[in-house]
Amino acid sequence: MRPIVAVVGRPNVGKSTFFNRVAGKRISIVEDTPGVTRDRIYADAEWCGHYFTLIDTGGIELKSEDIMWKHIRAQAELAMDIADVILFMVDGKAGIISDDYDVADYLRMSKKPVVLAVNKLDTGKMDAIYDFYALGLGDPIGISAEQSLNLGDLLDAVCAHFPMNEETVEEEELKIAVVGKPNAGKSSLVNKILGYDRVIVSDIAGTTRDAVDTPFEADGKKYRIVDTAGIRRKNKVVEDVEYYSVVRSIEAIRRADVVAVVLDASEPISEQDIKICGLVHESSKPSVIVVNKWDKIEKDTFTREGYVATLDEELKFMSYYQPLFISALTGKRVPNVLTALNKVYENASRKIPTGILNDVMQDAMSVNEPPNYNGKKLRVYYTTQTMTNPPTFTLFVNDETIMHFSYKRYLENALRKAFEFEGTPIRIRIRNKNSEEIN
């Protein structure tokens, strides 16, 4: 396992800026608004041959009784529980305050190694660190996360606490993105799959603002699940915070192996639900349509059939979709979610032997011969599978310009009928036998 470093401190001391600098990309939101980082945000990082996982936490407000601050504090506590090293960040520009003493006392109770970073100190202002010796956490290290000043010294101090011979080999894991509109139950589903409260669950839409990564194991298999912020319609995204939440959700889809699209059964299927499915389809990711809150609606013999009929109509562009009806609240059918995600990923990874593939294509063309266009007959010489994830097939023909989209769709349907490609898009590319490949 990689060592884990939890970055903690009061709100607005620059934890997220430091996190993004070390991670090498903008993962955690950076805003002047306290409480923007609410859940634990993970990123893998490396320094001088040391590989570790960095966790950005929400600001710790020990004295606040606000319910959201209590949730944030609980998430920070979980991060510290699993951490090998705690990086305590304070604000050197504001100077030491009473809350810093409280947090320092709190951290000492963890019995974990603590490295004290005094942030927001520009060149020539490092003398301000001396006040922070009073916290009793050893030598403070002055940095400027914004200017990347002294970050190397700080990381050296952090890495000095790592266990010897830490594991540096990347382990294979299935990356799952959980996406959907705000308040569809994504976080509840993630927590139920994990078996504990990994992310904050609230009736307030937009509670999850970051894309939250969590590695876990189930039945001997490794996974990494990403709970994303709800994707809103563009005209609803009025805050910079929400804009970056949407960007990270789209990025989570892009880097996922498989996607769970969560719909709220208690509400009609909306245009935004369809657009989110479209994002997944355009990213060529295998997916499962998870219809959540199925326990909240009145049902009869035809309720499920009617819902599927609506999905069939609205998701014509992804006719391969696989629906699963669950209740994250009660846990009903939640165990089936991982099973379904594994299955559609297996389908997307399937490699068809060339001989069998060409037999199927020849049979399809015998039933429905390639059409003639302008007196010229389309000839398909042979077919080969050139990629997986998604399954991609290249057809070598005499003239790609006479391959009509309707016949291409017919051949795609023949492939789906012959092989198990439920839950995954497939691509068919056309190539002249003696020319370049085209789509």
Q: What is the DSSP string of 138-204?
A: S--EE-BTTTTBSHHHHHHHHHTTSPTT---SPPP-EEEEEEESTTSSHHHHHHHHHTS--S---SS
Whole-angstrom Cα distance, residue 42 to residue 53? 7
Dihedral of the CA atoms 131, 137, 138, 140 (nearest 10)?
-50
Domains of the chain, by residue range, sit at: 4-159, 174-348, 354-438
Do residues 304 and 325 touch, judged by C-beta distance below 8 A? Answer: yes
Whole-angstrom Cα distance, residue 349 to residue 342? 10
Run of H or E residues at 397: strand 392-397
Helix extents (H) in 283-385: 303-314, 335-348, 354-367
State residue 234's pLDDT score.
Answer: 47
Architecture of domain 4-159: 3-Layer(aba) Sandwich (3.40)
Do residues 178 and 189 touch, judged by C-beta distance below 8 A? Answer: yes
State residue 117's pLDDT score.
Answer: 94
State residue 124's pLDDT score.
Answer: 67
Single pTM value for the model: 0.59
State residue 271's pLDDT score.
Answer: 87
Would you call 50 helix, strand, or coil by DSSP? Answer: strand
Q: What does each of the 439 residues of the chain score in pLDDT, given as a tens digit? A: 578 888 888 888 888 889 888 887 544 433 343 443 444 577 778 898 888 888 887 777 656 666 655 666 666 676 677 788 999 999 998 899 888 898 888 888 888 999 999 999 986 677 788 899 999 999 999 999 989 899 999 999 999 998 765 444 445 789 999 998 888 888 889 889 988 654 444 444 444 444 467 888 888 899 988 867 555 554 544 443 343 445 556 767 877 899 999 999 999 998 889 988 998 999 999 999 999 999 999 888 899 999 999 999 999 999 999 999 999 999 999 999 999 999 999 999 999 999 999 999 999 999 999 888 777 888 999 999 999 999 999 999 998 888 888 999 999 999 999 998 999 999 999 999 875 444 4
When the candidates are 3.40.1670.10, 3.20.20.370, 3.40.50.300, 3.40.50.970, the CATH number that belongs to 174-348 is 3.40.50.300
- In the CATH scheme, what is the code of domain 354-438? 3.30.300.20
Domains 4-159 and 174-348 share a fold: yes
State residue 244's pLDDT score.
Answer: 41
